[in-house]
Structure 1
Amino acid sequence: MKNKKFRFNSVYCAMLIAASVGAQAEEVDSVDGNSAETAVEVIQVKGIRSSLTKSAQTKRYSDGVVDAISAEDIGKLPDTNLAESLQRIAGVSIDRANNEGNKVTVRGFGPEFNLVTLNGRQMPNSSALQSEGVSRSFNFREIAAESVSGVNVYKTGKADITSGGIGATIDITTARPFDYDGFKAFVSAKGIYDTSVEEGDSVTPEVSGMISQTFADDKVGFLLSASHSERDSHTDIVGTDGWVRNRSRDNVDLSAIDTNKNPEQAIWTPWTAKTEHLDTERTRQNAQAVLQIQPVDSVVATVDYTISRFEETSYTNRSAFWFDNPSGSANANGTLWNPRDQDDELNFWAWEYYQEKENDSLGLNIEWQATDTLSFELDVHDSTSESNPDGQTAETLANLKNPSGSVALIGADFIGDIPKIIVDDSNLPGGAYNKDNIVSDLYQKRGYSMENNVKQYRFSGTWENAAADSALTKINFGVMNTDYTIDTRLSEVFSFVDVPLNGLDLGFIPLGDTADQFPGANQLFPYISQYDVNQFIDIVKNEGLFAEPNIKTNGVNEETFAAYLSFDFDTDFNDMPVKMNVGVRYEDTDVTAYSVQNGIIAMNYRHAQELRPVYDDTATADELSGSYTRILPNFDFNMSVTDEIVTRFSYSRTLSRAGVSAMFPATNVSARPGGPFNASQGNPNLLPITSDNFDLSLEWYFDDGSFASAGYFKKYVENFIGAGTENRSINDVNGQPLTDPSVNPRASCPDASDTPNPDCLGTATDPVITWEVATPDNLQNREVDGWEFNAQYMFGDSGFGTVANYTLVNSDESFDPYNFDQTIALTGLSDSGNLVAFYENYGFQARVAYNWRDEFLLALGNEPTFTEAYGQLDMSLSYDINEMLTVSLDGINLTDETVRRYGRFEEQLLAAEQYGPRYTIGISAKF
């Protein structure tokens, strides 16, 4: 079952060497008590204190509000995962998948509102799973922390910074050979010990390294870095596939509903109750080659090629049941907390998730110091991200079950953190888990093949004013063009099947310690089913029942031309040094979106739980377009009140562009007999979300590397995108409204055949379906404000130090669980905090870090998804054996914290997930 496609042999090629990071000299602005001057301060980026000192310097001397992370040494970022490092910054919080940080939220704005760049360049992104959708947001799981030399988080906009992030623009930097003098090399080997593993290897390898050399009197330099990482893991999941409003009300006791809050007496019932095991194997490879040439003293040319390869396969087995027409009692909120179904059956699911991503970026950068005061820079790159490029289906699933109606009673009590499962299978000889009492039910294959390409050029210049008596120090100018293209191919096939199971290797394992960190884990399903979904698919194919997939093709091309101009000023006010940056950015964007899909002939009453659209054989293309222009000004002001105290004010206008899938013109339908009847259609004429941002802060730098700060921010956000809904009919290929054949079914229906039975198709005499059609639109404005508090302190020469920060975020409108018309809410909005203690002396380094994030809205669809408050304790230890060799030990989630997600109310459990701690032990060498 294990996929060894990317496994390297014994030495793992020594990996050529990976992830360049390193010590380098940095030019920073130094301010004395009387004047603002530029000085050169060399900071050796080695060790925790040096890294934090450099980050503090970046914060102090930046225009606007900028926070930074710097590598502690070559190949050593503070955490084993880049997202885990970012969450240590005030105002930055993360979401986790499989016990690993993957996407970031900044100042309450989720991943789609933040732009991630690599060395200043906008990077493409692709995904294969429908659950992830089509996203602009970068997933930090795909890049190794060893390949990063630093990260700058720009929380305020600047004219010369690529637009796209309302929360922040996050720039990841990697090293170049001219960063070093002569020869530099690094190699590291680690073992990842994941305590959760049940299938696969508990210890997996991670190797990385870098080699850099300059030649010809340092006029030519070459750097090569690479990393290879494997990880196996296991997750326990308990929950449901969702909660639906006002389904199956007839058998529900409504007397406990609080009509003051819920006057409509709306109720929510769960689709399912489930317990599952998820086993994952992942391989990640990163590499970068950089060539630098300085043909004359005034010109430096850099060519770089960056790749990443990411492959992840997960296997899930699940015991569950489906609530078709539950009875029970609603609580005060309207939640059916004790659903019961009589004469039902258990379901036994198997899943395979497969993602393969290939990211490639080729770039050219030329810097030219034309005169003593005038310099130019040209930067060009062509970058592509592809998911599942070989066309392999991202998601394959199958379900087995007991014969319909054979289980006397199924039920669940949704009280506490996880539900209590109730099954009465006394009607079945041998019980529900006896193989003789299990039959086939359905299979499904679905997922994206996606390609995202970004072609971008930027030509910029800087003029430095040589006049000593002028407040104007610099004029910055430039133009940029970004051609963003994404093409998606969604493949879907779904079918109920009746096939023999005698050739299927089916078994059951006891629940054991599944989800044992949650109270009530002993009241779940007693067994988890075990079988291979691909083996089941082979049986379906051998029986000649495998159906052809439905293909949907969509794409967007977005071309943006930008021009900017900014001015830097240095002056005094009452003998206090003042720095200002004033700039404006102009952007013009043209959008074209297309969809290719087959027309719908009619709705087919195929199954008691399914109304399926039947498509014709002719694919037609639909194309829509839109455009917009925006002016983005910025003003940054900071004043050194004393040698130690800095005040800062910033104003900027920033934007985030509409989600890609929201612009596809295609109409998609989803229906069940009796409803709901849902449909959606995209809108390529969406305007960008814009924000006017105000920042005010007071910062006290009282010692080298030690500071305290307090900052207030306010954002006025316009054109939030939500789903405007319309109840209307949808026409078939002949221009007639689609109808519902399940209301007055013919005698032969439903018919589960993959070949539609004409008697089961909707006709003109059947009731016309009224669809709830959701179309994204710019609907509302929002205000968001908050406070960021920072403290960083080095205890003299003792080696001890601490970092603490806390962020408070508020919005003028929060999610109202009883407002059923609310289609807009700010996802990711939550308070967060960090507390870090460290020691560094005599070659020994130790760090303990605790990160906490309050509950937040993860997603808003037909029903919301919330993530409960979460805190995690991590640690890092290392020892320098000598100047060359270092050994290290890192620990993630030391206290085995769990994640719980719920729906509209806390009792509406969606997923309770348990991962276990993870440790990494390694040795590294520098040359």
Structure 2
Amino acid sequence: MYNNKFKLNSVLLAVLCATHAQAQSQENSQNNNVEVIEVKGIASSLSKSAAMKRDGQGVVDAISAEDIGKFPDTNLAESLQRITGVSIDRSNNEGNKVTVRGFGPSFNLVTLNGRQMPNSSALLDDGISRSFNFKEVGAESVSAVAVHKTARADLNSGGIGATIDIQTAKPFDHDGFKALGSVKGVLDTSVDTGDSITPEISGMISNTFLDDSVGVLISASHAVRHSHTDRIGRSGQWSDVGKGSYDNWKQAFSDTPSVINTSNINTANNSDQHVFTAPTVDFEKSDSERERQNAQVVLQYSPNADLVITADYVLSRLDDKQKMNRSSFWFDGVDTGTADVNGTLINPTRAKDELNFWAWEYAYKTENDSMGINVEWQATDALSLTLDLHDSTSHSNPGGLPAERLANLKNPRFDHDNDDHLADDGDDATTPTPHIGYVDIAADFTGNTPSISYDDSELIAKTGNDAWHKSNIVGDLIQERGYEIENNIKQLSLSARWENLGNGDLTAINFGLNNTVYKVDTTKISGAVWNTSALDLTNLDIETTPGGIGFDSVLRYSADQFIALTKDPANNMSDPTKALYAAPNESLNGIEEDSTAFYVSFDFESEFNDMPIYANFGVRHESTDITAYTVAKPVEGLKWITALEMSKIFADDAVSDQLSGNYSHYLPSLNIKMDINDDVVARFSYGNTIARSDIGSLFPETSLQTHLAGGPFTAKQGNPNLLPYEAKNLDLSLEWYYSEGSYASIGHFRKDVDNFISNGIVDRTINDANGNPITDPSQGARAGCPAPENTACESQPSDPAIMWRVETPVNLDALSVKGWEFNIQHMFADTGFGAIANYTIVDSDNEYDVHDLDNKLVLTGLSDTANLVGFYENDSMSFRIAYNWRDDFLLNATDRPTFTEAYSQIDVSASYDINDSVSVFIDGINITDEDTRRHGRFANQLVDFEQYGARYNIGVRATFE
């Protein structure tokens, strides 16, 4: 008796992934005679995915494992991109976040066995997002991933694009003993300084005992990857720096007005002749090392056929390290240049300046732990109950050290009057340009990638050495920054199913409640020393390596070593009694969201003209209370330290602030499936869904972003009263299952999104801790300014108050997204050949207008996608080749946008079974070495051009039972 129940769990891939994890036992109780099919091989995996789609309530697409421990791709995101309507974002040539039907990572809810999982990142550029990072979970213990594209009352709220559920293995999925192991080497062709081959090892043991009433499963994996990236791009954003001929745009170190030719600008699109300029041109080399551990322990106990208790613990550890060096030039101002038809400055020049040589060090860890218990009880023949509790935490950068350290070196500047080399102390307040450089530089943005040219002949004549010689290099600045984030989710779910209700059309009633407490505590680390030219660089190790795009070289040195030198007073050539280093500032931010939901839904079965109809109607009520806090040292003023830069002056004591908000929603849903005949299925789905804002948008903290001498002055502030996005979703689809594992489908969807969140901008003053406006010291003419050590260069009450441009997230109007999904999956009879082809078209009524400088209501991530997969397999071998394409899309939608250009990639995999237990395999990722390109408002406004290289996995897999 127990055996039959446990065998049923092996069809969880086909049944459970189409329902919420909390309803798993109820679904199983209806299918006591389901035939058990062993999952093995590509065709069988695809057949089960087709079954998930056909049997699901609403529109569900899924990917299942070919065999236990054998997921189609080693990265879950790379597998998900094969699904119609799903596309991915890549980081370091590896899928990490997903977009569904044009809705980016923050609009999709990712669950693990039906449970909402926390997320954290230590990098400031990543922000504080709810988006799950797929690179943190290995695929070895994953049984299936289901993408629920339509709403259901029992699904956790949070996904407008989709709810993506990752299903992991359990001991009752298998009969008796089963063990597997996999060893492979990862060959990354991009590697420059690391190990070109790194190991990945995984294993799992599962067994049942005591007449199959007790089960234990243990799995673990260890993965190391080294990689290298070459990048060409810019730092900061392409800027709209003014209008017309720029007679009023002064250079940072000169009184000479810029001479900009704007005659080519098409005034029909750019009537005010706005000119867009790059802040920098960069060429960089970076080397990464990533180490990941995953582990899972699952205990199951079934004292009788009506009760199953499952306890589990899931662990992941991610250790990321990266070293990057960059040759760069900063266009603090422009002498001459020509604007093209769109206003892009394509050939800026700047005389008497410098080259910059940057070093970055990234080092941080992420620790994820999840403990849970699940009880499934068939209380009576008609009533089944499920209780699920879990406590999960994601902790990034434990210990709170800066996750990112950076330093800059540059060519020296010389006194304007006597030509003596100075330490950039800015002590001449009477001369507008006390220090000048001896390097002239220019850039060209007419090609696919920019090129630069420079002339250091004047520097050579002056010093006898070129711009790359160590004697012509001085310190500039150091920065330390990052987050320590602890994200905890406590969740309780109680669900019930009451069936066998009689002979009417109503077949079952489902009801339940959920409580989720989502808590995030962050420590933001941010500090800088803006002038380190007095640092003795004698003991700094510098290596010269080949450069690119016109930079002769990239100087390799360690930011950590540079920062260590600033901590020793002996290295301060100006004052050996005082270290140049200043510890970074810390601020605390956090939120607690307490959400309670109740739901009820009804299952119906009926007929129309002899065509069976299955329907599910439900409603979910959800209420959320939010408390957000900030503890930080407020900014008391600014210090004018160079002709361009002003640094922040913090108060000695921290000040706390707390705000709260709340909201509630009714979320109805209706899913109807009609079997037109034995092979053709039609669907109609309607439902309301919500997606909450990013965590960082809720913090009450006011953060000063840009504060340059003379402006601009920008700041950001959160808004705990933000309402979530709310979408009304409509789906229509027609599916033809014409043979085993083969089907064709067409679907249309529409999503009308309300409460869309964008940035509202307000011009206002910002006060210090005493309630006085922060003032601008660069507007007060005082002797000895600018200078980093002169207190007279600090904000004074008599200085003019700064008018800050403050961005605050606000709820705006609605937008609509609609699209079509086309999919065909075909098995060529018994030949072993098969193919998949799908295409998704997505469109919105609020597309970004590159000629409009005031876009507000625009959806990021919107793009068409396509996949083409072919495979062959027989009893002992298999081969697969997969092509993925994603059209260009808007990556971020500010007044300075970034677009990711169209990208395609080809992956291959092959395996051979040596015997029934052992097989060898090889995978190839990005075998044609595709690159990634991102640009600003127009195509020649380059943001990033990155080259990674192909990656191959070669290994052996063994299974024992």
For the aligned pair, the TM-score class normalised by the smaller chain equals: over 0.9
- Who is 1:470 aligned against? 504
Secondary structure of residue in 2 paired with 1:536: helix
Query: What's the CA shift for 1:862?
Result: 4.3
Instruction: Identify the match of residue 562 of structure 1 among 565, 572, 597.
Output: 597
- Who is 2:928 aligned against? 895
**Aligned mates of 1:866, 1:843 — CA distance in 2:** 45
Query: What's the CA shift for 1:28?
Result: 5.3
Does the alignment pair 1:530 with 2:556?
yes
Does the alignment pair 1:275 with 2:283?
yes
Does the alignment pair 1:689 with 2:697?
no
Instruction: Identify the match of residue 317 of structure 2 among 292, 302, 309.
Output: 309
More strand, by proportion? 1
Contact (CA 8 Å) 1:24, 1:45: kept in 2 or not? Answer: no
Does the alignment pair 1:509 with 2:545?
yes
- Who is 1:702 aligned against? 738
Instruction: Identify the match of residue 733 of structure 1 among 747, 756, 769.
Output: 769
Q: Deviations over 1:867-909 (max 9, x none)?
A: 0000000000001111000100000000000000111111110
Does the alignment pair 1:197 with 2:205?
no
**Structure 1 letter corresponding to 2:815:** R
Does the alignment pair 1:346 with 2:355?
yes
Contact (CA 8 Å) 2:280, 2:328: kept in 1 or not? Answer: yes
**Structure 1 letter corresponding to 2:74:** T
- Who is 1:331 aligned against? 340
Instruction: Identify the match of residue 306 of structure 2 among 281, 298, 303.
Output: 298
Equivalences for residues 42-191 of structure 1 within 5 A: 42-191=36-185
CA 1:761 to 1:71, structure 2 compared with 1: closer, same or farther past 3 Å?
A: same
**Aligned mates of 1:926, 1:780 — CA distance in 2:** 55
**Aligned mates of 2:636, 2:163 — CA distance in 1:** 47
Contact (CA 8 Å) 1:233, 1:281: kept in 2 or not? Answer: yes
**Aligned mates of 1:524, 1:449 — CA distance in 2:** 39
- Who is 1:4 aligned against? none
TM-score normalised according to structure 1 size: 0.94
**Structure 2 letter corresponding to 1:43:** I
Contact (CA 8 Å) 1:346, 1:407: kept in 2 or not? Answer: no
Query: What's the CA shift for 1:391?
Result: 1.8
Instruction: Identify the match of residue 913 of structure 1 among 933, 942, 946.
Output: 946
Instruction: Identify the match of residue 209 of structure 2 among 187, 200, 215.
Output: 215
Query: What's the CA shift for 1:428?
Result: 2.0
Does the alignment pair 1:259 with 2:267?
yes
Q: Deviations over 1:314-362 (max 9, x none)?
A: 0001111111111311111111111111100000011001120000000
Instruction: Identify the match of residue 809 of structure 1 among 842, 845, 850.
Output: 842
Secondary structure of residue in 2 paired with 1:478: strand
Contact (CA 8 Å) 2:14, 2:49: kept in 1 or not? Answer: no
Query: What's the CA shift for 1:245?
Result: 1.4
**Aligned mates of 1:608, 1:73 — CA distance in 2:** 64
Q: Deviations over 1:695-719 (max 9, x none)?
A: 0001000000000000000011001
**Aligned mates of 2:12, 2:940 — CA distance in 1:** 55
**Structure 2 letter corresponding to 1:315:** K
- Who is 2:524 aligned against? 490
**Structure 1 letter corresponding to 2:626:** V
Does the alignment pair 1:379 with 2:373?
no
Contact (CA 8 Å) 2:13, 2:64: kept in 1 or not? Answer: no
- Tell me, which stretches of 5 or more residues in structure 1 are unaligned? 1-21, 31-35, 512-521
Does the alignment pair 1:613 with 2:644?
no
Instruction: Identify the match of residue 495 of structure 2 among 446, 450, 460.
Output: 460
Instruction: Identify the match of residue 389 of structure 1 among 398, 401, 412.
Output: 398
**Aligned mates of 1:640, 1:206 — CA distance in 2:** 46
**Aligned mates of 2:42, 2:293 — CA distance in 1:** 27
Contact (CA 8 Å) 2:815, 2:857: kept in 1 or not? Answer: no
- Who is 1:764 aligned against? 797
Contact (CA 8 Å) 2:58, 2:150: kept in 1 or not? Answer: yes
**Aligned mates of 1:101, 1:523 — CA distance in 2:** 28
Does the alignment pair 1:403 with 2:412?
yes
**Aligned mates of 1:661, 1:839 — CA distance in 2:** 47
**Aligned mates of 1:721, 1:664 — CA distance in 2:** 15
- Tell me, which stretches of 5 or more residues in structure 2 are unaligned? 1-8, 19-29, 250-256, 414-435, 570-578
Contact (CA 8 Å) 1:484, 1:557: kept in 2 or not? Answer: yes
- Who is 1:427 aligned against? 458
Does the alignment pair 1:775 with 2:784?
no
Secondary structure of residue in 2 paired with 1:742: helix
**Structure 1 letter corresponding to 2:264:** A
Contact (CA 8 Å) 2:635, 2:651: kept in 1 or not? Answer: yes
- Who is 1:581 aligned against? 616
**Aligned mates of 1:553, 1:392 — CA distance in 2:** 14
**Structure 1 letter corresponding to 2:514:** M
**Structure 1 letter corresponding to 2:773:** P
**Structure 1 letter corresponding to 2:388:** D
Does the alignment pair 1:877 with 2:910?
yes
Contact (CA 8 Å) 2:498, 2:509: kept in 1 or not? Answer: yes
Secondary structure of residue in 2 paired with 1:539: helix
**Aligned mates of 2:221, 2:159 — CA distance in 1:** 29
Equivalences for residues 229-240 of structure 1 within 5 A: 229-240=223-234
- Who is 1:799 aligned against? 832
Secondary structure of residue in 2 paired with 1:617: coil
**Aligned mates of 1:73, 1:583 — CA distance in 2:** 35
Does the alignment pair 1:590 with 2:634?
no
- Who is 1:517 aligned against? none
Contact (CA 8 Å) 2:700, 2:717: kept in 1 or not? Answer: yes
Does the alignment pair 1:724 with 2:750?
no
Contact (CA 8 Å) 1:25, 1:41: kept in 2 or not? Answer: no
Contact (CA 8 Å) 1:509, 1:527: kept in 2 or not? Answer: yes
Query: What's the CA shift for 1:466?
Result: 5.0
Q: Deviations over 1:188-246 (max 9, x none)?
A: 00000000000110000000010001110001110000000000000000011121111
**Structure 2 letter corresponding to 1:672:** L
Query: What's the CA shift for 1:303?
Result: 0.5
Query: What's the CA shift for 1:25?
Result: 6.6
**Structure 1 letter corresponding to 2:286:** L
CA 1:62 to 1:548, structure 2 compared with 1: closer, same or farther past 3 Å?
A: same
- Who is 1:514 aligned against? none
CA 1:319 to 1:682, structure 2 compared with 1: closer, same or farther past 3 Å?
A: same
Q: Deviations over 1:469-501 (max 9, x none)?
A: 221111110000000000110111111212011
Query: What's the CA shift for 1:614?
Result: 1.0
Secondary structure of residue in 1 paired with 2:47: helix
- Who is 1:14 aligned against? none
Equivalences for residues 651-662 of structure 1 within 5 A: 651-662=686-697
- Who is 2:682 aligned against? 647
- Who is 1:16 aligned against? none
**Structure 2 letter corresponding to 1:541:** K
**Structure 1 letter corresponding to 2:826:** Y
Contact (CA 8 Å) 2:748, 2:818: kept in 1 or not? Answer: yes
**Aligned mates of 1:388, 1:745 — CA distance in 2:** 44
Q: Deviations over 1:338-392 (max 9, x none)?
A: 1111100000011001120000000000000001111000000000000011222
Contact (CA 8 Å) 1:27, 1:40: kept in 2 or not? Answer: no
Query: What's the CA shift for 1:731?
Result: 1.7
Secondary structure of residue in 2 paired with 1:587: strand
Query: What's the CA shift for 1:27?
Result: 6.7
- Who is 2:472 aligned against? 437
Query: What's the CA shift for 1:761?
Result: 1.5
